[in-house]
Structure 1
């Protein structure tokens, strides 16, 4: 987003007078167009909350739902939250909307599944809830489509059981006042805990699937990916990052010699954090970098410091290896045929860092191979900071599988052994389990 637009959005955040133009909580949105600054504030909050990521299926219409979110109890299918009166939330009053957003209770009284991060959104201010409601009712195009109904395994298929879960999970006391006037760390905390709900992905969960508050942001598995430890730990987290580096990552999804965003985080950068104001990005980064360190027994060396360039043989020696026998191709040959053209035979990437180095890379340097497996399967397709970054996924190519599970396992083991934290013995079965978690439209 251009700096001018960021400035405009930030300026409307500081305008509190328009909030008084809203009708009481019990009122339903009418046809009268709300003030422009209120609409802009609501849109900015929706962007900070990354609502579009979960409520838009691959290739689907914005906010029309249909995305499948894998859980241990089955797939949750996200709902239509456009203002269509029959298929979406067009009949919701502000009170209905607030109960859904902050308490996980639908207009019909049934409980939402916590794939919707209402536990985090419960911390939003009244003013921001009102602005968000106003934008959804007046700024989003209605879509007359109903996604399939979520069908989970027993007992999760009984929505009443979510009431018991809510008691275990708890909630956050809503912030008070105008969130745009909070000081830097308070604003950063509000963004991290309420709007951007960082803990939803980066905090591990207990047997009841509620967040372990004593392990806040210490890392957790997520639909095949692993949302890494982002506490201030210097070995397991991002304690060695500067505030400017983290801001750059949130704005662009890429920091040379550190990390690149893909998967759910790539979506969060593209649709959410890359559109935040500079002040908000610095507030968010400053807050995260002071979160108490949580070390990880699997991570003993900072991920971004692991590995080195490969010692590539000089082909002028005349010692050549045939690679036309596909049944004999190992990880090195698969890498040479599919990866080296961009990442280099020595793993250094391109000179402009468009294709990143594979050493001093938090994905390859991790003690967990999950994210490397997933990025090879799904690829990277991220637009942020004025740059479109693309890496093809090797799960499919024109509906034809490009690399088998065994081949992906082989190249993952080669890349991590050669450039990163070591051969992790990834198997074809592990790759298949992660392949099954790739996003699917209903």
Structure 2
């Protein structure tokens, strides 16, 4: 979507009047028992609160993370219980209005970078547990992150209700979410706590989620959150429940996929900490989401490719890397990738460095995620294993590979091991390359 259209949409989102907020049930004596606090901590983990409310190198929940929008950066707030810099003065009702309705304590509107559209589905009892944990278990941090300052007229928070009117919300669940049956629990996790649709559902002209295309795939800060519907061609309908559970728990399934970027964060901070029962519930629900097809995906992403026959270096002509002013795709691969992924693309025998064939990143119809992986690398810790691949976009703030070289190696890898040459250009890479030092994905 052109930037001018996005800016216009953000202007529309900031052009209405304040809606009356719904009231939370009357407050009662707060339960701060160990069981309630443990439940609150688990829920906060499932909701992945730490990912957005912690800046790189910052203190947990102290805010400061920059979330890019067409109208400027939304900067996450301090949600520790510090009374002056965080949410220490929030009542339980204030907390509920913020979480489920996008309203701050002073009555002003939050920007939808805060996924209150999804969190609106959280049960009353779970809201109470979350509030108890944040207020009594999170360490207060006396720091105020920079204030969000968007371009006019998106800086007029009072009018966010115009967008709320068209965005829709997840209806709140009732009862004790811990007692839900498997499929109901999976739906609750996917639609409310884990808010999968926030990234994986495409958005309409008003930037609200297209519910008729739930989980059908969408662009996300340079990455592409893929189609994860039950389509066997475009989605993950060919995955087993156990495979999806393994992916959510570890971020890696040999012969299928590996998590990087925002999904790597989600695995590291959230899904890898869920119980087996919840992982199976979540996987079972996602695998039955109605299939949506994507013209960019011609066959299952993980079904592309095969190992290449390794060349015999004792014969033929060799080209010295030093003789090249700018390397073509094969030479970039040989110099930077082959040591881990192998000359034949098979990866390491322990799968730490994944195979580049039978890989949903190289087999995708879009090159976005491979470009971003080459630029930013991979850095996630899940199930006790730290997985790291260096980013080739920058090293100590100095560019390592040029835009042209990254375009060449992406085209080479996808043509050789994946879905085919996507004809990536240096201009496409330049558009995705971060302007400054890169954070870990």
Q: Same fold (TM over 0.5)?
A: yes
Shift of 1:326: 3.4
Measured after TM superposition, the shift of residue 318 of structure 1 is 4.6
Structure 1 pair 291/111, CA: closer, same or farther in 2 (3 Å)? Answer: same
1:296 maps to 294
Residues 129-278 of structure 1 correspond to what in structure 2 (within 5 A)?
129-278=127-276
Alignment partner of 1:430: what SS?
Answer: helix
1:11 is matched with: none
Distance, in Å, in 1 between the alignment partners of 2:346 and 2:413 is 12
Contact 2:303 2:363 in 1 (8 A): yes
**Residue 374 (structure 2) aligns with:** 376
CA distance in 2, matches of 1:52, 1:370: 26
For residues 245-289 of structure 1, give each alpha carbon's deviation from its aligned partner in whole angstroms, at most 9, with x where no partner exists.
000000000001000000110010011000000000000000000
Structure 1: how far apart are the matches of 2:421 and 2:254?
24
On the 8 A contact 2:326/2:405 being kept in 1, the answer is: no
Distance 1:58 1:25, change over 3 A: farther
Measured in 1, the distance between the counterparts of 2:401 and 2:123 equals 48
Structure 1 residue 342 corresponds to structure 2 residue 340: yes
Partner of 2:47: 49
Q: Is the contact made by 1:224 and 1:437 (CA closer than 8 Å) also made in structure 2?
A: no
d(CA) in 2 for partners of 1:140, 1:260: 31
Distance 2:316 2:173 in 1: 69
Structure 2 CA distance for aligned equivalents of residues 28 and 321 of structure 1:
76
Which residue of the partner structure matches residue 418 of structure 2?
420
Displacement of 1:321 in angstroms is 2.0
Once residues 152 and 205 of structure 2 are traced to their aligned partners in structure 1, the CA distance between those partners, rounded to angstroms, is 16
- CA deviation string 1:281-333 (max 9, x = no partner): 00000000000000001101100001111232211225322221231421111
Tell me the number of residue pairs that the alignment of Structure 1 and Structure 2 aligns: 416
TM-score by length of 2: 0.92
**d(CA) in 2 for partners of 1:59 and 1:390?**
18
User: 1:154 Cα shift?
Assistant: 2.7
Cα 1:207–1:96 change in 2 (3 A) is: same
Runs of 4+ deviating beyond 4 Å: 23-29, 437-441
Return the alpha-carbon distance in structure 2 between the equivalents of residues 376 and 61 of structure 1: 28
SS at match of 1:315: coil
Shift of 1:26: 4.7
Structure 2 distance, partners of 1:189, 1:253, is 21
SS in 2 for 1:327: coil
Q: Aligned with 2:322: secondary structure? A: coil
TM-score (norm 1): 0.91
Contact 1:27–1:93 at 8 Å: present in 2 too?
A: no
1:55–1:67 contact (8 Å) kept in structure 2? yes
User: Against the structure 1 CA distance between its residues 210 and 388, is the aligned structure 2 distance closer, same or farther, given a 3 Å change threshold?
Assistant: same
Worse overlay, 288-297 or 66-75: 66-75
C-alpha distance in 1, partners of 2:119/2:25? 20
CA distance in 2 between counterparts of 1:186 and 1:41 reads 18
Question: Contact conserved, 1:28 with 1:93, CA < 8 A, in 2?
Answer: no
Q: Give the C-alpha shift of residue 365 in structure 1.
A: 0.3
Match for residue 363 of structure 2?
365
Q: 1:117 to 1:28 in 2, by over 3 A?
A: farther
Q: CA RMSD in A?
A: 1.7
Conservation of the 8 A alpha-carbon contact between 2:257 and 2:361: yes
**2:282 alignment partner in structure 1:** 284
Counterpart for residue 90 of structure 1: 88
Cα offset for 1:437? 7.3
**Would the alpha carbon gap of residues 303 and 264 (structure 1) be closer, same or farther in structure 2, given more than 3 Å must change?**
same
The equivalent of 2:21 in structure 1 is none
Aligned 8 A contact 1:28 1:92 in 2: no
Q: Secondary structure at the match of 1:382?
A: strand
Q: Tell me, which stretches of 5 or more residues in structure 1 are unaligned? A: 1-22
What 5-or-longer segments of structure 2 have no aligned partner? 1-23
Partner residue in 2 for 1:119: 117
Q: How far has the Cα of 1:161 moved from its partner?
A: 2.5
- Deviation string for 1:314-368 (max 9, x for gaps)? 1122532222123142111111110000000111100111100001100000010
Partner of 1:320: 318
CA 1:367–1:196: 2 relative to 1, 3 Å:
same
Contact preservation (8 Å) 1:309, 1:348: yes
**Deviation for aligned residue 1:405:** 1.5
**Partner Cα separation in structure 1 for residue 27 and residue 406 of structure 2:** 55
Deviation at 1:27, TM superposition (A): 7.2
8 Å CA contact 2:53, 2:63 repeated in 1? yes
1:395 shift after superposition: 1.7
